[in-house]
Every structure is written in structure tokens, then in C-alpha cells.
Amino acid sequence: MAELRMVVCCKQTLDPEAPPASFKIDPSGNRMTLPSDIKPVIGQYDEFALEAALRLKDSGGGTITVLSLGNKLVRDVIKKSLAVGADELVLLEDPSFEDSDSWSTAYALSLAARKLEGFDVIFCGRQSSDMDSGQVGLGLAELLGLPVVTLARKVERIDGGLKIEQVIPDGYQVVEVPTPAVVTVTSELGNLRYAVLKGIMAAAKKQPIIWTPSDLGVDSTEVGAAGRKLDIQRMYQPVKEARCEIIDGESSAEAGANLATRLREAKVI
Amino acid sequence: MEDKTGVLVYGELAGTKLAGTTCELLECGRRLAADLGQRLACVLVGEVSDTAAAEAAARGAATVYVASIPQECAFDGDVHVAAAAAAVATAEPGIVLLGHTPLGREIGPRLAFRLGAAVSTDCIDLRIDPDSGKLIMTKPVYGGNALLDSVAQTAPQLATVRAKAMPTGEPTAENTPNVVHLSFEMPTTRLTITDRVQEEVEGVKLEDAPIVVSGGRGVGGPEPFTTILQDLAAVLHGAVGASRPACDNGWAPEAMHIGLTGKIVAPDIYIAVAISGASQHMSGCAGSKTIIAINKDAEANIFREAAYGVVGRYEDVVPAFTARLRELLAD
């Protein structure tokens, strides 16, 4: 079998593991911020997608191109993909890519995939770690006319395609799909490996390839904010009234017993 | 595009009946259609029984579109997208609603991209803007740390709706459904399903349990899920769930995962044991009537979500809680 050519889409996002209270909406009312000392990350689901590609490369060889779209992407965040074993990093990076929605993101990525030519599989995370929309992988498949398998927890290469364990409610199913195809990956696949020193050193020497809208053959009105089909009206954080009644006791065990008594009094149980 | 009117619900089947999420969608669709002064329709795809079509009509669908597909295609997304696209082409709706279910999560975005339209996924509220007549779609973002209201520039306006986020509604008197059979070209098969494995869940089904006891990262291992937590659940005739870290660590099976990417539950009582209360977890249980938290960290976010709480080691708190409950419930 010829070498597998893999593309992995990785989005730089705010760190979803940051403490909930640290998420603040900026005064414009449509952009989320975190304190500046909390670095952005590659979306957690995109990391699982990258791990899926790395495992295929481990077992049968192949090449991995990481695609990332945005503006002013933080190099040491996004180059983590090279440090763990991706071969090439292509950034769709331009001010006009800012404030993309799922549509304009998938559209630009589909043009980039066409430009890459000859790929066998595009891996995406099941959803982004910021908007949680779960659209880009599916949109790519539709725009490129490719079959798609969602929620992969295991991916193997077979003759002419891929064999995928897809998560379904209370179980999984085994799906065979011919390549080229799009695969979205879920957390059950497992965490992205750590970078080793050798990989970090090699990544430091590699420069990402930068593509702007004109490299993709479109003008800036078709991408980013201008290419959106969904208008943001408002982003907001509902105020939660903390009204938890804390039940005490002489000991933790007594507090536990008192909790039962209190719930009975309150007719909760 | 302006002449597209009406609300179309992409229904799902549970055997011969409608799935619970579909009942929620129909109730939501009925409200939106009434606000717009337009009609509600429903499309059902699969081996559609007369019972299911009648139920859709009783829940407000003026027209029920039926796309019959053989059982072996029931899990083929390509077939469902083609059927949904055929229903949209026939009904020409202004709004299309799908469940944010395993099927709807795939079909919603694919249908949107195929139609050249926008979709907002995992919505928890939908309403009509009285000024513009457009659909305002509210969805949680940043793992539940914020809500986003958005409006589509394109038609039809598509949304997938989170399970248990909206009321189910009541069917009205039996209507004879106005059934329209859709004909559409079956797409060439691209995916082959070679095996399908589903775990049989013993006892109360997690999604339907009136009481859920859930364990998180803080329980520290697999054993408490079958001992301390199971004992508490047994006394209350409830089911045991888990947070994502607990599942990712292999302490509990994925079938027990409650959260943004797991199951959505809305029991009467949700007991969170050693769960920090990350937004991603709360996305799966925020609809619970009463949340009770047991955590050794007094600063844990879960205490901002709970109505009752105990600060302490769960190994000490829970057995005593269970024992007292057993006494109280025996009286």
C-alpha cells in the first residue's frame, strides 16, 4: 500500500480546562477572554484527532499535515503538533480569517485540502473546545463530497480505506470507509502523546507554511467574518445565585447522616 | 428565499413510537409555528409505523412526510441526509429542527452544508424575534461557561436541540395524519457497518432514572462505582453515572458518562460525588430538579450549582448518608 497521506485540522482555542470563573466576556459582548497568563491550547478534541493520525503513522507509516486557521496564531502552541510527530504545519493565517464561523472555517479548510491534493484522510476533532458546534468536519465532507465517519475511537488502515470503531449510544460499531474520507475523533480514542525532546528540537527548526486567502484563490470577502452565515447577536453569562445549603456535623460522617435528615425534612427524598 | 414558511421537525423513531427528543422538538416547533402563524410539519425516516405518524399529527404536525428506508440503512448518515434534503425540497420550510442526538449531530450540519445554509447546534432555547420574525437560537459555548444567541443569514434556518432542554408537551386528540410519502434517490452506499456492539445496561436506565448518583475524578478509582456509589443508588432506586475524567481513566464505562459529550440527564435528584462541577459536566445534568454535592473542596464549582452540600471526604460522608437514608426510608 502506498504511504497514507493524512491531514489533521487543529484549532487554537482558549484553554477549556481554565477555572470556570476565569472566563469573561469582553466589553464588545461577543468575544470570550481568559486572563493573559492562561495560554491558549490546541483544542482537546483536535488533539485526539492528531493522536489518531500519529497512531496510523506509527503502525504503517505515512505523512501528517496539520492545518490550522486563524490570525496571530501562537507559534509554540500550534507547533506542538510538529513536536509530537506531524510532518508539516500549514497555517491559514491572515487578519481576514478572524471571527470565522463553522461555514467560513470549513470553506477555507476545504480549499486548503484541495490545494494539498492527494490526501487519503482528513481528521478533525468531534467538536471545537470553544464553540462546541461539531460542524467543521461534517462541513468539510459535504464541501469536498467525501464520506464521513464521526466519533471514531479507533482507526486502522485496510486495503483501500479505513476500518473505524465509531462510538454509538451504549456501545460502538465497526465501520469500513473507502479513502479519501473525513473522520471526526472523540475522547475515547485517548490523549495526545507527550512531545519528546528530539521532537521539540526538530519542531523548533521547522517553519510553518502560511497561506492567505489569495493563496487559496479566494478574496477576503469569502472567509472569516465576511464569509459567515450565522450572525452572533450576543454572548453572555447567566448569573448563578449560589444558594447551596451546606450541611455540617461534628465529623464528615455525621454531616453525611445530617444531610439525609435534612433532605427528608425538606421533602426532597 | 422569502417564501419559505413553516417549521419542519426531523423526527426520530423509538421502535413503533416517536423518540422522546422528537416529542420535545414537536412541542417546540408547535410553539414557534404558532408565534409565526405558520404550520408545523414532521419528517420521519425509517420503517415508519402508523402509530408514529399518528403521534406526530397528535403532537401538532399538520403534515407528516414519510421516507421509507430499509432497516439495513437505519444507521447510514448518507441516506438520512438525502431523505432530510428531500423533505426540505418538498416542504420548503423556513425553519428546520433536529435533535442534538447521535443521529442529529451528524445530519444537522451535513444537511445545512448541503443546503448552503447555517445551523446552530446543541441549542437549549429557540424563539422568534418579534421584530424581524427570525429565529433566535441560544446555545451553550465554552463548555457551558457562556451562552450564545445567533441568527442565520440563510434560509432555511436550521437548529439542533439538546435533549431534555425543552418540555415534552401533551398530544391532543387523535388526528388522522396527513401523510405524504417522499420519493428520493437512495445514495450509493459508501460506508459498510461490519459489527455493532451495544452493552446491555442492568437496572434503571441512566437517562430515565429519577435519581442519579454520579462519581468524578475525586473518587480516585473504579471500585467506588460498584460499592459506595452503587450502595447509595440502590437505596434510592437510582442509577450510577460518571463524569468524563472518571470514564477517560477507565473507572466507569462510557455508557455511564454524563456531560457535554456524554449523556444528558434531568432527574429529580442528582447527587454529585467528588465531582468538581466543570461546565462540561454540568451541561449533562443542569436540568436536574435538585442537585446535591459531596466534595472535600469547599471551593469546588459544584457548590455553586447545588442546592444542598456537604464538605468532606466522600469515603466518610457517603456511607453515613446511605445508612441514614436506609433508616429513614424504612420508616
Give the total number of structural domains in chain B. Answer: 2
Q: Which of B147, B181, B215 is the last residue of a domain?
A: B181
Query: Is B153 within 8 Å of A16 when comparing Cβ atoms?
Result: no
Q: Looking at the structure, tell me whether residues B155 and B271 fall in a common domain.
A: no
Q: Which of residues 12-71 of A touch B (CB under 8 A)?
A: 14, 16, 19-21, 23, 25, 32
Q: Which residue has the higher pLDDT, B290 or B75?
A: B290
Residues in chain B: 331
Interchain contact A145–B (C-beta under 8 A): no
| List of domains in chain A | 5-227 (3.40.50.620), 241-269 (no CATH)
| pLDDT of B304 above 50 | yes
Q: What is the mean pLDDT of residues B218-241?
A: 96
Q: How close are the terminal C-alpha atoms of chain B, in Å?
A: 65
Q: Looking at the structure, tell me whether residues B40 and B169 fall in a common domain.
A: yes
**Pick from A133, A168, A178: CB nearest B190:** A178
Each residue's pLDDT tens digit, A225-250? 999 999 999 999 988 777 899 999 99
Each residue's pLDDT tens digit, B21-49? 999 999 999 999 999 999 999 999 999 99
Query: Is B114 within 8 Å of A245 when comparing Cβ atoms?
Result: no
**Collapsing DSSP states into helix, strand and coil, what is residue B303?**
helix
Q: With 0-12 CB in 10 A as exposed, 13-18 as middle and 19+ as buried, what is B179?
A: middle
Each residue's pLDDT tens digit, B94-143? 999 999 999 999 999 999 999 999 999 999 999 999 999 999 999 999 99
Q: Looking at the structure, tell me whether residues B314 and B222 fall in a common domain.
A: yes
Q: Which of B146, B181, B216 is the last residue of a domain?
A: B181
Q: What is the pLDDT of residue A241?
A: 73
**Cell numbers standing for residue B182:** 417522499
Q: What is the mean pLDDT of residues A118-140?
A: 97
Q: Looking at the structure, tell me whether residues B171 and B225 fall in a common domain.
A: no
Residues with Cβ within 8 Å of B54's Cβ and at least 6 positions away in sequence, in order, are B174, B175, B176, B177
**Cell numbers standing for residue A168:** 454509538
Q: What is the pLDDT of residue A152?
A: 98
Q: Looking at the structure, tell me whether residues B133 and B12 fall in a common domain.
A: yes
Query: Is B145 within 8 Å of A23 when comparing Cβ atoms?
Result: yes
| pLDDT of B1 above 70 | no
Q: What is the mean pLDDT of chain A?
A: 95
Q: Looking at the structure, tell me whether residues B144 and B210 fall in a common domain.
A: no
**Pick from A20, A247, A251: CB nearest B308:** A247
Query: Is B196 within 8 Å of A174 when comparing Cβ atoms?
Result: yes
β-pair type (A148-158, A41-42)? unpaired
Q: What is the mean pLDDT of residues A184-209?
A: 96
β-pair type (A148-158, A121-125)? unpaired
- The DSSP bridge partners found for residue B215 are B242, B273
Q: Looking at the structure, tell me whether residues B255 and B174 fall in a common domain.
A: no
Q: Looking at the structure, tell me whether residues B143 and B212 fall in a common domain.
A: no
**Pick from A25, A103, A187: CB nearest B248:** A187
Query: Is A232 within 8 Å of B149 when comparing Cβ atoms?
Result: yes
**Pick from A16, A240, A262: CB nearest B304:** A240
Q: Looking at the structure, tell me whether residues B253 and B166 fall in a common domain.
A: no
B49 part of a folded domain: yes
Instruction: Identify all chain B residues contacting A19, using CB atoms and an 8 Å cutoff.
Output: 301
Q: How close are the terminal C-alpha atoms of chain A, in Å?
A: 63
| pLDDT of A112 above 70 | yes
The CATH code of the domain that includes B292 is 3.40.50.1220
**Cell numbers standing for residue B73:** 440503512
Q: Which residue has the higher pLDDT, B301 or B199?
A: B301
B2 part of a folded domain: no
Q: What is the pLDDT of residue B233?
A: 96
Percentage of residues of chain B with pLDDT beyond 90: 89
Q: Looking at the structure, tell me whether residues B13 and B77 fall in a common domain.
A: yes
| pLDDT of A173 above 80 | yes
- Alpha helix (H) ranges present in chain B? 20-36, 50-58, 77-91, 102-115, 223-226, 228-235, 244-248, 279-282, 314-330
Q: Looking at the structure, tell me whether residues B19 and B71 fall in a common domain.
A: yes
Nearest CA in chain B to A226: B153
Q: What is the pLDDT of residue A146?
A: 98
Q: What is the pLDDT of residue A117?
A: 84
- With contact defined as beta carbons under 8 Å apart, do B118 and A230 qualify? yes
The CATH code of the domain that includes B176 is 3.40.50.620
Q: Looking at the structure, tell me whether residues B80 and B156 fall in a common domain.
A: yes
Domain that includes residue B108, residue range = 7-181
| pLDDT of B2 above 60 | no
B155 part of a folded domain: yes
β-pair type (A148-158, A245-246)? unpaired
Describe the crossing of helices A102-116 and A136-144 by its angle, rounded to 10 degrees.
50
